[in-house]
Amino acid sequence: MPTEIPLADLDLRRHVRAGDTVLWGQGCAEPRPLVERLLADRADIGPFRCFLGIPAADTVRPEHTDVVSFVSYCGTGANRELIRAGRLDILPGHYSTLPQLFASDEFRIDVLLLLVPPPDPDGTFRYGLAQEYLTAALARARVVIAEVNELVPRVECGGRLDPDRIDVVVPTRRPPVEMPSRPPAQIDLAIARRVAELVPDGATLQVGLGSLPSAILAQLANHRDLGVHSGLVTDAVVDLMSAGVVTGRRKTVDRGKVVTGLLMGTERLFRAAGHDPAFQLRETTYTHDPEVLAAQHRFVAVNSALQVDLTGQINAEEVGGEYVGAVGGAVDFLRGARRSLGGVPVVALPATSRGTSRIVVQLSGPVSTARSDACVVVTEHGVADLRGLTLDQRRERMLAIAAPEHRPALAESLRASASPARSGTTRAGGR
């Protein structure tokens, strides 16, 4: 059985060793009191490493890197401050590979910090606000410390935490970190209306985080019997459930359930998930499983991008030499939607950013999604379905959804770069 220690008496120097790698839940699942104590004790512990997910708070700051090194799969939110200070190393890769990585010796997790609700009557714990890759880390961590928070909801999840697997519990009563969505801009609404037209009644949705995904969900208010299977869900899903739009009745897998890896929103979302058994937290190996996604009929995956080139290559990671995004789970979901009966793989983005075209001849960052994973690209100017199209056909479609003021320059740049290889006649590569 775990040892119960009040937060005021917690001494993490007894549990974390120099050279350890520490992991905690990302976003709203961050056990903030434990992380604050860990960073406060860093000098006495000695050099150690922390893996960061999407931050919902600014708990981690550049000054902490005097002792601690930080690694993350993403450059969003407060992680950008670390990146700009040159203090965050990026682990590039598909989000779906993190569980296998954490369960192996390639990137072994030594100490796991969890945020969980009080135990169920049988003494077991639920995962709280996130399950995702925490299950894999739990299997290998040497030490597991749990913040048992009375204000965290008991959400249905895939499996329970055996109390014998937890070494220390720290009781608290502190509201979890919230992540409210930003109000959508007019351009978000324009894109959202076009995406909504691609979503059939009875579809199962995957959406990401931010003002544009929230705007897209808001545009689905007149749809019927939608389902949700996503890496994360936000308050916007609660709105659609309350309106009777999200019912899950037509899902072919997990019918009637809202399946997600983590909850990223406000107390309203937390409260709804704790009271409605339709919500179900699952591990990443399930939420991103290619067979599960492909088996879901009419699976519509909606993801974002920083840039898309005229042939359909997608950069979702880096712009202006700065890492601001992630490889994430986009490829997993887009491929799942391509394989799904009636599915639609969507990448949505504004056509410009600060006067610069985001539809480009050549990406200024890495290829996060290859053009072989052709999808439906949406901007405020139109929809380009690249599936089944040749390279020249794709260029024509993509030029049509670029901002009108940038189309002549894009066309001229394309002509200037024309070569035999551009026409796709090269024999490199296998069949």
Strand order in the sheet with 204-206: 279-281, 258-263, 227-233, 204-206, 299-304, 344-348, 376-379, 382-385
Q: CB count, 10 Å around CB of 267?
A: 15
Chunk the chain into consecutive blocks of 10 residues (it has 431) and report each block's average pLDDT, rounded to whole numbers: 93 96 98 97 97 96 97 95 96 96 92 98 96 96 98 96 97 96 94 98 96 96 98 97 98 98 97 97 98 98 97 96 95 98 98 96 97 97 98 97 97 79 47 47
- The pLDDT value given to residue 175: 96
Q: Which pLDDT does position 105 carry in this prediction?
A: 86
Count of all residues that appear for the chain in the document: 431
Q: Do residues 287 and 296 make contact, with C-beta atoms less than 8 angstroms apart?
A: no
Phi then psi dihedrals of residue 268, to 5 deg: -60, -45
Give Cβ neighbours of residue 315 (< 8 Å, ≥ 6 apart): 305, 306, 307, 308, 363, 364, 365, 366, 367, 368
Nearest to 298 by CA among 224, 357, 190, 381: 224
**What's the sign of the alpha-carbon dihedral 355, 92, 126, 297?**
positive
Name the residue with tokens 């309106």. 243
pLDDT of residue 411: 94
Q: What does the pLDDT look like over 281-340, one tens digit per residue?
A: 999 999 999 999 999 999 999 999 999 999 999 999 999 899 999 999 999 999 999 999
Q: What is the pLDDT of residue 222?
A: 96
4 burial via Cβ count (<10 Å: 0-12, 13-18, 19+): exposed
Phi then psi dihedrals of residue 422, to 5 deg? -65, -30
Tell me the C-alpha distance between 4 and 166, whole Å.
Answer: 10
Q: 51 and 72 in contact (C-beta within 8 Å)?
A: yes
User: Tokens representing 199?
Assistant: 């979503």
Residue owning tokens 């001494």: 11
- In DSSP terms, 90 is beta-bridged to 72
The reported pTM is 0.94
Q: Are strands 382-385 and 376-379 parallel, antiparallel or unpaired?
A: antiparallel
Angle value at C-alpha 36, between 176 and 32, nearest 5 degrees: 15
- pLDDT computed for residue 96 by the predictor: 97
Q: Which amino acid is at 241?
A: M
- pLDDT, residue 426, reads 42
